[in-house]
C-alpha cells in the first residue's frame, strides 16, 4: 500500500528542504518516491528544486489542496499509477485545517492509501513569536494560522535546530511541553539531517493520523492569507557579455528586493528565486524581513537560462507587482537581458474547502 506523508507548516519553515532530504533517504533505501507541490499559482521554485530528487514531481497549482481535494487526489493517484511507493506532499504554507479537509476525507474516501501522521514544521523564530510572545511584525491573523497549524498537527517539529543554542533548544522544549502537553513534538534540522531518520521511521508505522480537528474562524483564516501579496514570475535571461555569476547576481537581486521592502516594513512570508545562467544554477531564499538572504548553487540538468521568482510578502499585490517589475528592469540588467515570460500577482482568495469533516474518522 502506498504511503502518503503530508508535511505542513508556514511559509519558509523548511518543508521543501525536508521533502528533498526525506526523498533522498527513501530513494537510497530503494523506494520509489513521488512528490507533490502546491501553490495558488503555477511556476514554482519548489517544483524545480524537487525535480532533482524522487521519481516524479507533480504540482497542484491554482488553489490549495483543501480547496481542490480532487486535484490533490488525482495527483496522488497519478503518482501511484507511475509506481510511487511513498508520496510526500507539501501543502501551501499559508494553509491550515488540513486534518478536517484532507486527512480525514482521505481516511474516509481513500482507505487504501496508507496515510501517516500530519507533520507540521515550524521555524524557531516564528515559534517564539507565536508561543513565546516575542515581538512580531507578522499580522495577528497570519500568526493565528500558524497557531492553528500546530494545534491540528499529529507531530510538531521545530525545524532549523542547527541555528539554535543549547539554551534556546531547552526553552523551545519547555514551551512545547507547556503549550502542547499531549502532542508528539521534537526538534529537527532539514538542512543537516538531524532527526530526519527518527521522524521518518516513526511516522511510517504510527497509527495516529488526523487525530485533531480544531475549530477554525474562517474569517480570520481568510484575512491571515489575504494580507499576503503573492507573486510568481518567470523570465528568460541572457548574459550580455562575458562571464556572469548566477549566485552573485541572484544575491544582488534579493538584496535589492529586501532593501525595498524594508522601506515599508513589509514582513516576509517567503521570497525565493532560482537563476540559471552562465552554466550554473543558484537558488536564493529570504524568510523574514530582516533575515539574511541565503544563496546556494544547486545541481541542474538544464542549461536553459531562466529566472523563477516567487514572493509572498505582507503587502498589496499591486505594490508587490510594481516593486518586482522595477527590480527586474533595473538591478541585474547591466549584466543580463531579462524577458518576462509569465507574471502572476494575486491575493489569496477565501478558503472554501471541498470537504470539511467536523469529527475524526
Ligand atoms: N539553517 C537551516 N535552514 C533551513 C533548514 N531547513 C530549511 N532551511 C532554509 O529555510 C529556507 C526556506 O526553506 P524551504 O524548504 O524552501 O521552506 P518551505 O517551508 O518549503 O517554504 P514555502 O514553500 O514557501 O512554504 C531556505 O533558505 C532553506 O535553506 C534547516 O534545517 N536549517
Ligand atoms: Mg516549499
The Å distance, Cα 17 to ligand 1 centre, comes to 6
Structural domain ending residue among the three candidates 172, 202, 224: 224
Number of domains forming the structure of the chain: 2
* Contact indicator for 268, 289 with CB cutoff of 8 Å: yes
Predicted pLDDT at 169: 98
Model pLDDT for residues 206-224, shown as the tens digit of each residue: 999 999 999 999 999 999 9
Predicted pLDDT at 328: 93
Domain of 158: which CATH number? 3.40.50.300
Predicted pLDDT at 1: 87
User: Considering only CA atoms, which of 229, 324, 291 is closest in space to residue 12?
Assistant: 291
Domain assignment present for residue 353? The answer is: no
Domain assignment present for residue 352? The answer is: no
298 and 342 in a single domain? The answer is yes
Q: Which residues of the chain have pLDDT under 70?
A: none
Predicted pLDDT at 301: 80
With a 6 Å cutoff on the Cβ, whether 162 touches ligand 1 is yes
The Å distance, Cα 202 to ligand 2 centre, comes to 23
160 and 294 in a single domain? The answer is no
Helix (H, G, I), strand (E, B) or coil at 161: helix
Predicted pLDDT at 332: 83
Mutate to test the pocket of ligand 1, among 7, 11, 14 (most ligand atoms within 8 A of CB): 14
Mutate to test the pocket of ligand 1, among 7, 17, 310, 313 (most ligand atoms within 8 A of CB): 17
Predicted pLDDT at 242: 79
What's the mean pLDDT when you consider all of the chain? 96
With a 6 Å cutoff on the Cβ, whether 146 touches ligand 1 is no
Angle among Cα 204, 206, 210 to the nearest 5 degrees reads: 105
Predicted pLDDT at 45: 95
Residue 121: burial class (beta carbons within 10 Å; 0-12, 13-18, 19+): buried
Amino acid at each position: 500500500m502506498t504511503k502518503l506523508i503530508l508535511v505542513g507548516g508556514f511559509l519558509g519553515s523548511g518543508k521543501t528542504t525536508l521533502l528533498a532530504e526525506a526523498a533522498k533517504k527513501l530513494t537510497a533505501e530503494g523506494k520509489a518516491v513521488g512528490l507533490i507541490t502546491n501553490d495558488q499559482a503555477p511556476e514554482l521554485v519548489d517544483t524545480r528544486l524537487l525535480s532533482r530528487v524522487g521519481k516524479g514531481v507533480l504540482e497542484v497549482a491554482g488553489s490549495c489542496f483543501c480547496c481542490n481535494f480532487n486535484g490533490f487526489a488525482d495527483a496522488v493517484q497519478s503518482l501511484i499509477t507511475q509506481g510511487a511507493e511513498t508520496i510526500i506532499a507539501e501543502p501551501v504554507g499559508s494553509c491550515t485545517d488540513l486534518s478536517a479537509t484532507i486527512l480525514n476525507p482521505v481516511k474516509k474516501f481513500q482507505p487504501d492509501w496508507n496515510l501517516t501522521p500530519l507533520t507540521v514544521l515550524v521555524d524557531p523564530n516564528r515559534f517564539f513569536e507565536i508561543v513565546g510572545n516575542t515581538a512580531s511584525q507578522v499580522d495577528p491573523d497570519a500568526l493565528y494560522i500558524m497557531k492553528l497549524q500546530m494545534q491540528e498537527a499529529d507531530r510538531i517539529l521545530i525545524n532549523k535546530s542547527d541555528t539554535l543554542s543549547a539554551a534556546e533548544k531547552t526553552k523551545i522544549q519547555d514551551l512545547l511541553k507547556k503549550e502542547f502537553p499531549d502532542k508528539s513534538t521534537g526538534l529537527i534540522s532539514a538542512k543537516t539531517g538531524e532527526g530526519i531518520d527518527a521522524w521518518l521511521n516513526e511516522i511510517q508505522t504510527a497509527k495516529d493520523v488526523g487525530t485533531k480537528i480544531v475549530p477554525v474562524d474562517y474569517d480570520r483564516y481568510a484575512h491571515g492569507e489575504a494580507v499576503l501579496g503573492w507573486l510568481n514570475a518567470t523570465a528568460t535571461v541572457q548574459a550580455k557579455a562575458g562571464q556572469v555569476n548566477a549566485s552573485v547576481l541572484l544575491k544582488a537581486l534579493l538584496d535589492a528586493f529586501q532593501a525595498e521592502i524594508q522601506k515599508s516594513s513589509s514582513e516576509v512570508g517567503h521570497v525565493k528565486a532560482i537563476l540559471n545562467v552562465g552554466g550554473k544554477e543558484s537558488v536564493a531564499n529570504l524568510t523574514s524581513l530582516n533575515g539574511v538572504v541565503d544563496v546556494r548553487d544547486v545541481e541542474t540538468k538544464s542549461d536553459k537560462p531562466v529566472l523563477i521568482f516567487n514572493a509572498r510578502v505582507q503587502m498589496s499585490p499591486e505594490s508587490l507587482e510594481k516593486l518586482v517589475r522595477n527590480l527586474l528592469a533595473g538591478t541585474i540588467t547591466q549584466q543580463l537581458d531579462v524577458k518576462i515570460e509569465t507574471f502572476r500577482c494575486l491575493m489569496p482568495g477565501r478558503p472554501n474547502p471541498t470537504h470539511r469533516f467536523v469529527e475524526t474518522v
